Structure 1
Amino acid sequence: MTPMSDPSNPSNPSNSSNPSHPSTPSDRPLTTTTALPDRFCPADGTRVPGSSPAWCCPVCRGPLDLDFSPNPAPLSSLAGRVNSLWRYTEVLPLASPSVSLGEGRTPLVALKDGLSAKLDYLMPTLSFKDRGAVLLAELATRLRPARVIADSSGNAGTSVAAYCARAALPCTVYVPEGTSPKKLEQIGAHGARLEIVPGDREAAATAARTAADEPGTFYASHIYNPYFLHGTKTYVHELWEDLGGRLPDVLVVPVGNGTLLLGAALAVAELHGAGLIDRRPALYAVQAAAVAPLAEAFHAGADDLVGTVPAAPTFAEGIAITRPPRARQILRAVRASGGTFLTVTEDQIRHAQLDLASRGLYVESTGVACWAAVRDGLLGARTAVVPLCGAGVKTGLARG
């Protein structure tokens, strides 16, 4: 079951009689020459026109989903196509890209005992976030805003900055103080303006959301904008192709804001709905034990976050999100898949990073969380794939 367009969910737009929120001057469409699918709020069904610059539900201010019904192509038709994520054009809400840097199609390598890793740190900006950022930049070129903004703890901002540079779009990235200097350097090198916000990741997000309401602004949010999820889902479409039309028993995914996990859930639903896989893999979500609000809610049997989890230092800074806006969708997706949540300690992260480096794979500390969770045989005889999401040169070795 995909959390993005579940026909049994009364908030799904096809089941909802909730009218669109009346437009305001800031809701007026930006310029576009191509019809774009509408977006909708998964919480209350409010619809937003595809060409609107609105970045959230105008009623509840929650994230939006895309009213889009893809039809994935069979394996036999993929041979000879462009060697990037755009080869899966039937499942992407945008076609004929102008902004591509050749993203996608990253290697899949065996590690041990049925466990494999997909090397998404070999993307153009050394992070899996390129999968979603290219969709956001491509959308921005069609909406033609005066400026693009993003907020990030590093990797998403770097990706948006790079693709905006490719598209010649002015870009500002809001980051929290304490962001890795190497990531700041990379964002600035792409020509983006940096806004360093005092405080934590949520403080940077709040500043960006305030700026996002200004006229002529396109908020390239990897959390609120559903196009990002439709980019990250290509991770699973690639796995399916690389494994000859099947998927492993388990997909192990790091979760902070849940963009890769929700993209994976979308892809699994698409492939299963088209009859291209006969079973759905379980989704195993991994969080750092230091900041694990979703794991806490999941194991408490809750449908949403419970209480308040304070920010805390962790090597896995990229997934240290205390209040993910799509929490309900993430929890629902993991439960529907028959999966679970796992947490890893700082020692496990540090040892997993060194272990991967000893195997020739130098991965940033956030990106090793999944390997830390399963490398000691937790999954038994089941096959699984872990994503290695960011390059080690972005943060260096975890020390402590």
Structure 2
Amino acid sequence: MTPLPDRYCPVDGTRVPAESFAWCCPVCHGPLDLDFAPTPAPLKSLAGRVNSLWRYAETLPLAAPSVSLGEGRTPLVELKDGIWTKLDFLTPTLSFKDRGAVLLAELALRLRPRQVLADSSGNAGTAIAAYCARAALPCTVYVPEGVSTKKLEQIRAHGARVRVVDGDREAAARAAREAADEPEVFYASHVFNPYFLHGTKTYTHELWEDLGGRLPDVLVLPVGNGTLLLGAALAVAELYAAGLLDRRPALYAVQAAAVAPLAHAFEEGADDLVDTAPTTGTGPTFAEAIAVPRPLRARQILRAVRDSGGRFLTVTEDQIRHAQLDLASRGLYVESTGVVCWAAVRDGVLGSRSAAVPLCGAGLKTGLAGS
């Protein structure tokens, strides 16, 4: 069995052994990164490989899967001239979170915990529950009040226990973290655990392969906790370092205007979240899955966007609703959070630049915005 890489804290450098159940930095209690710098395979060598994200084995810290459900390799469709979308709602649990969840479940299977815990606003919880079911691992998912009944139904159908926490998304996360400190508990956090990011990066590796060894001018990505964007940044860095890209795309991060702490920090020129928020930045939103008021990897997200020459875009509730209906009229029924990238760019903000947008979750999970 391939040895697991160690984890480390990107803030203070503290190292955490690969086999440890520790889920955060023991010094600053922040998220961890992975001591792992892979070299992706050239385009020609990918032909004939398994038709899942595991075809990029050289780039994954766990390259011998036993719990795969065939995740990844989602279709690429051109929405309009120069703007492509990957249909990441066509994954086993109907959201892109499967990309990271399979790596967390595979890691948990190697560590053999007595319990797997997760916290989620819905999609990550369903993905963790499904892959724990596949791995025959006991799983409990903490969710806040108001989560879509369809997502709760899906989590329970996979055999996971659901703990509904009084309060918001952050309250659910706090409850899960308290329980995660118990012995032999694996906290399958899509925020703290870097294995999740190395799963989401396969979105960008697939896009590179599907476009014949190139990437568009701009990668447009939804940002709440930033797992898909940070995964994209990892993939771009890997491909560029290997000489498989001649230029890096700009990363455009999209937030709902109602909850846009990162967009506000970016506009202020800050390296981290700022204490003063705009008066319009704290309300409810149809994009509930990215309504994260204090993302824990804020510094990394802001740096990744700036280093790429990218920017932040925000979308209103009307834009989200209209984008969802527009996609449905094109044959694509996507949940309200999953349409924010299309909402941000469909009216021409990118000009003549080529771009890719992900459609991250199926519309059956939430229904139409405002209905």
Q: TM-score, normalised by structure 1?
A: 0.91
Are 1:350 and 2:334 counterparts? no
Report what 2:14 is aligned to.
Answer: 46
Separation in 2 of the partners of 1:247 and 1:106?
16
Q: CA deviation at 1:386?
A: 0.3
Q: CA deviation at 1:308?
A: 5.6
Q: CA deviation at 1:113?
A: 2.4
Q: CA deviation at 1:34?
A: 5.0
Q: 1:228 aligns with which of 183, 196, 205?
A: 196
Q: Could you report, residue by residue, the CA deviation over 1:98-156 in whole angstroms, capped at 9, with x for unpaired residues?
A: 00000000000001121111000000000000000000000000000000000000000
Q: 2:252 aligns with which of 284, 307, 314?
A: 284
What secondary structure sits across from 1:121 in the alignment?
coil
Report runs of 4+ in structure 1 exceeding 4 Å deviation.
Answer: 308-311
Separation in 2 of the partners of 1:107 and 1:34?
31
What secondary structure sits across from 1:120 in the alignment?
coil
Separation in 1 of the partners of 2:63 and 2:77?
30
For structure 2, the residue ranges without an aligned partner over 5 or more in a row are none
Q: CA deviation at 1:69?
A: 1.2
Q: Could you report, residue by residue, the CA deviation over 1:250-309 in whole angstroms, capped at 9, with x for unpaired residues?
A: 000000000000000000000000000000000000000000000000010000000165
Q: CA deviation at 1:36?
A: 1.0
Q: TM-score, normalised by structure 2?
A: 0.98
Separation in 2 of the partners of 1:210 and 1:85?
33
Report what 2:364 is aligned to.
Answer: 393
Percent pairwise identity: 82
Separation in 1 of the partners of 2:111 and 2:282?
36
For structure 1, the residue ranges without an aligned partner over 5 or more in a row are 1-32
The answer on whether the counterparts of 2:89 and 2:361 sit within 8 Å (CA) in structure 1 is: yes
The equivalences for 1:71-110 within 5 A come to 71-110=39-78
Separation in 2 of the partners of 1:260 and 1:308?
26
Q: CA deviation at 1:96?
A: 1.1
The equivalences for 1:1-400 within 5 A come to 35-307=3-275, 309=277, 311-399=282-370
The answer on whether the counterparts of 1:51 and 1:143 sit within 8 Å (CA) in structure 2 is: yes
Q: Could you report, residue by residue, the CA deviation over 1:345-365 in whole angstroms, capped at 9, with x for unpaired residues?
A: 000000000000000000000
- Cα RMSD (Å) of the superposition? 0.9
The answer on whether the counterparts of 2:40 and 2:59 sit within 8 Å (CA) in structure 1 is: yes
The answer on whether the counterparts of 1:308 and 1:322 sit within 8 Å (CA) in structure 2 is: no
Q: CA deviation at 1:399?
A: 1.4
Separation in 2 of the partners of 1:344 and 1:86?
34
Separation in 2 of the partners of 1:34 and 1:79?
24
Separation in 2 of the partners of 1:353 and 1:282?
25
The answer on whether the counterparts of 2:2 and 2:62 sit within 8 Å (CA) in structure 1 is: no
